[in-house]
A and B are shown apart, each in its own frame.
Chain A
Amino acid sequence: MNNKENLKSIILWWLGTFIALLLIIFNTIFYEMLKHSFYSRVENSLAIIANQTKDNLTPNVDQVVTLPQKLDYPISPVMIAVFGAKNMKIIAKTVTFMDIPMYPYLKSNENFFIVKTKKYGKIGIFISRIISPMKGYIVVATPMYKVDVKLQDIFIKMIVLNPILLFVLLLGANIIIDRILVPIKNITKVANEISVGDLDRIIPLPMQKDEIYDLVQAFNKMVFRLRDDVEMIERFNSDVSHELRTPLTVLKGELEIALRKDRDIEYYKNTIKIALKEVNYLIDMVEEMLLFTKIENEIDKKEHIKLDELLLNVISSLSIKAKEKNVTLKVIKLEMIDFETNPILIKTIFLNIIDNAIKYTDNGYVYIYLYQKDDEIVFEVRDEGIGISKQDIDKITERFYRTEKSRNRNIKGFGLGLSIVKKALQFINGKIKFESNENKGTKVIIKIKKS
């Protein structure tokens, strides 16, 4: 994560920008308020001075007033002048009073002005009317430089302090983000280390039960699921390779033996027959494995079919196999059922269930039922075979699952049949149930909703 854009720098960038903007706005408002308060303090002081002066005006002959001497002013320096009401001319003034035209201000309704002059700089002027002892205006003025210096000082402090504040905030944010990112970095590290061959890794759960905790938990669960899936695939691979190796061994061996010496035609014929048988077996195996994928493409295809007819077709296609094992297929109940569904899925279900019953039965009967009950179609197959043990019964519909018994009895298969049935049933709204007694037989009940 050197030159790459990372989460931390993005967060810090946005946070920094946001805080900087906030600081600028906040400080501008603060500065303006401060300025206002300083100015109004000047205004108040000037007003007080104006009133004090007004009260202490001494009337003179010729309607001329004299300014009081040495009053205690809250600010300094103070310049005072009195203007007559009629001609707006100065009647009396302190020595310091500056000579700027007052006329526009006197006419205004406002009391307080900040005036910029070339000669005296910024000056605060307060104007108040006088009624006695004569009519006129009193003007009190003071230079603003003291206030302005104070404001400037504060402004400079702000300029210096704000970036420091921003820096400290970002530093804090940086530490917090680092802390938040530690578990995320852990996840990344473990995730990088996990591979198909090494799915035993888990990320240690953080102490705090927060979103990161949830993330870690979800991640670990995902790894567990993956591990299960990979195990299943590995088991399947090992099963397939085992099942493939047997016919291939026979094929290879038979062909090699035939070629070792010159043989008579009968010998070659026999070898070819054996080879063909093994090739057919290999083809069946591949077909069955492909059926699984094929089913998924069948979901949307529906047509009206006569289930009883389809079942009879399936039964007759299996009759030779049944005869070879001395198994009698007996149809006990067969109702005429017209049903709109996918024929391939239904056929797959019928075929697999009856085929299983034949596979796991030697010398016995397989009873077949097909009927309607309420709004369900019921397909039942009962055999007199080896049965399924209690611990196996929940697992037999799992993909590639084969019971110890069926392996030991060398019954060919890959544990795909029932998982294919289960998958097919999902698509046509059906359910499967097994009732079994070991060494006595198994009853498979399939119910398909008609609606």
Chain B
Amino acid sequence: MKVLIIEDDEAILNMLKRGLEDEDFVVDIAKNGEDGEYLAKLNHYDVIILDWMLPNKEGIEVLKDIRKQGVLTPVLMLTAKDTTDNKIEGLNSGADDYLAKPFSFDELLARLNAIYRRSVLKGSNKIVIDDIEIDFDAKIVKKDGEIVDLTAKEYELLEFLLANRGSVVSNEMIQEQLWNSEEFISSNVIQVIIYRLRNKLSKKLIKSKRNLGYFIE
């Protein structure tokens, strides 16, 4: 899952980035509203974590603006305010969820997964294709009832393909999804991951479309 964190407090930002990367999230960061807005428009993210109080441009304004410009990425707002009015204002402005500081990291994870499931996986937490079963909550893949040991990137790619099931996903899209903006990867990394996924799961599961990308039917 790829997330963008827009948060001005360095300590919180570092904590979130490290914590989420540790959970195999791909994390981009922005320290103010303007940078955040720019990144949100430029890249595709599964979820945006947005702090309410930001220098230069408040989080709520960023949210309103990106929604106006047609960015439909789910947004989870973080805030030090926890009055009901604020909650309502946040949700009315297009936020998908709301978490008051200090929040539990576990809860943040659960909510991010829930948002992802709702928006990307359309509410399902399990998919079965032939003899392969993917559990999005536990991030576990089973073949014939046996757990298949996948690396984080392998799982991420599988999930991404399933999220876009039926449509072709290009190399660029995969690269953008699986690595953050500061990371550079060699061109055949994706090919390698696909190859390994096919070996571990099934040759037929992931199909290629020459020069276009990959897809799951």
B81 touches A249 (CB 8 A): no
Per-position binary interface string of chain A over residues 293-310, scored 1 when its CB falls under 8 Å from any chain B CB and 0 otherwise: 000000000000000000
B12 touches A257 (CB 8 A): no
Known contacts A278-B11, A410-B9, A410-B55: A253-B19 contact under CB 8 Å:
yes
A409 touches B104 (CB 8 A): no
B12 touches A250 (CB 8 A): yes
Known contacts A242-B80, A246-B11, A408-B56: A252-B18 contact under CB 8 Å:
no
B105 touches A252 (CB 8 A): yes
Per-position binary interface string of chain A over residues 274-307, scored 1 when its CB falls under 8 Å from any chain B CB and 0 otherwise: 1001100000000000000000000000000000
Please name 20 pairs of A and B residues whose Cβ atoms are closer than 8 Å in the assembled complex, sorted by A. Answer: A242-B80, A245-B102, A246-B9, A246-B11, A246-B80, A247-B11, A248-B101, A249-B101, A252-B102, A253-B12, A253-B16, A253-B102, A256-B105, A277-B11, A278-B11, A408-B55, A409-B55, A410-B8, A410-B9, A410-B55
B101 touches A245 (CB 8 A): yes
Chain A at the B interface: mostly helix, strand, loop or mixed?
helix
B residues 92-146 near A (Cβ < 8 Å) are 100-106
Q: Which residue of A lies closest to B19 (CB)?
A: A257
Known contacts A242-B81, A261-B22: A252-B104 contact under CB 8 Å:
yes
B15 touches A257 (CB 8 A): yes
Q: How far is the CA of A274 from the CA of B9 in the complex (A)?
A: 14
Instruction: Find chain B residues with CB under 8 A from A410 CB.
Output: 8-9, 55
Is B53 close to A, CB under 8 A? yes
Identify the 5 closest CB pairs spanning chains A and B, nearest first.
A248-B102, A257-B19, A256-B105, A249-B102, A245-B101
Is A241 close to B, CB under 8 A? yes
Is A251 close to B, CB under 8 A? yes
The smallest beta-carbon distance between A61 and chain B, in angstroms, is 129
Is the interface on chain A under 10, 10 to 19, 20 to 34, or 35 or more residues? 20 to 34
Question: Which of A's residues lie within 8 Å of B, judged by CB?
Answer: 238, 241-242, 245-254, 256-257, 260-261, 274, 277-278, 407-410
Q: How far is the CA of A254 from the CA of B105 in the complex (A)?
A: 8
Among A241, A249, A256, A277, point to the contact of B12 (Cβ < 8 A).
A249
Instruction: Find chain B residues with CB under 8 A from A252 CB.
Output: 102-105
Per-position binary interface string of chain B over residues 23-36, scored 1 when its CB falls under 8 Å from any chain A CB and 0 otherwise: 10000000000000
Among B56, B80, B101, B105, point to the contact of A257 (Cβ < 8 A).
B105
Known contacts A256-B106, A257-B19: A246-B81 contact under CB 8 Å:
no
Instruction: Find chain B residues with CB under 8 A from A247 CB.
Output: 11
B residues 38-64 near A (Cβ < 8 Å) are 53, 55-56
Q: How far is the CA of A278 from the CA of B106 in the complex (A)?
A: 20
Instruction: Find chain A residues with CB under 8 A from B105 CB.
Output: 252-253, 256-257, 260
A260 touches B15 (CB 8 A): no
Among B16, B56, B81, B100, point to the contact of A238 (Cβ < 8 A).
B81
Known contacts A250-B11, A254-B15, A256-B106: A242-B53 contact under CB 8 Å:
yes
Q: Which residue of B lies closest to A263 (CB)?
A: B22
Q: A248-B101, A249-B103, A260-B105 are in contact. List 19 more A-B contacts (CB 8 A).
A: A241-B80, A242-B80, A242-B81, A245-B80, A246-B9, A246-B80, A246-B101, A247-B11, A248-B102, A249-B12, A253-B103, A256-B19, A257-B15, A257-B105, A260-B22, A261-B22, A409-B55, A410-B8, A410-B9
Q: Which residue of B lies closest to A258 (CB)?
A: B19
B residues 148-170 near A (Cβ < 8 Å) are none
Q: How far is the CA of A274 from the CA of B103 in the complex (A)?
A: 17
Instruction: Find chain B residues with CB under 8 A from A241 CB.
Output: 80
Instruction: Find chain A residues with CB under 8 A from B104 CB.
Output: 252, 256
B22 touches A257 (CB 8 A): yes
Q: How far is the CA of A245 from the CA of B86 in the complex (A)?
A: 16
Instruction: Find chain A residues with CB under 8 A from B53 CB.
Output: 242
The smallest beta-carbon distance between A248 and chain B, in angstroms, is 4
Q: How far is the CA of A409 from the CA of B54 in the complex (A)?
A: 10
The smallest beta-carbon distance between A65 and chain B, in angstroms, is 119
The smallest beta-carbon distance between A280 and chain B, in angstroms, is 12
Per-position binary interface string of chain B over residues 62-90, scored 1 when its CB falls under 8 Å from any chain A CB and 0 otherwise: 00000000000000000011000000000
Q: Which residue of B lies closest to A252 (CB)?
A: B102
Most chain A CB neighbours (cut-off 10 Å) among B15, B18, B81, B104: B15
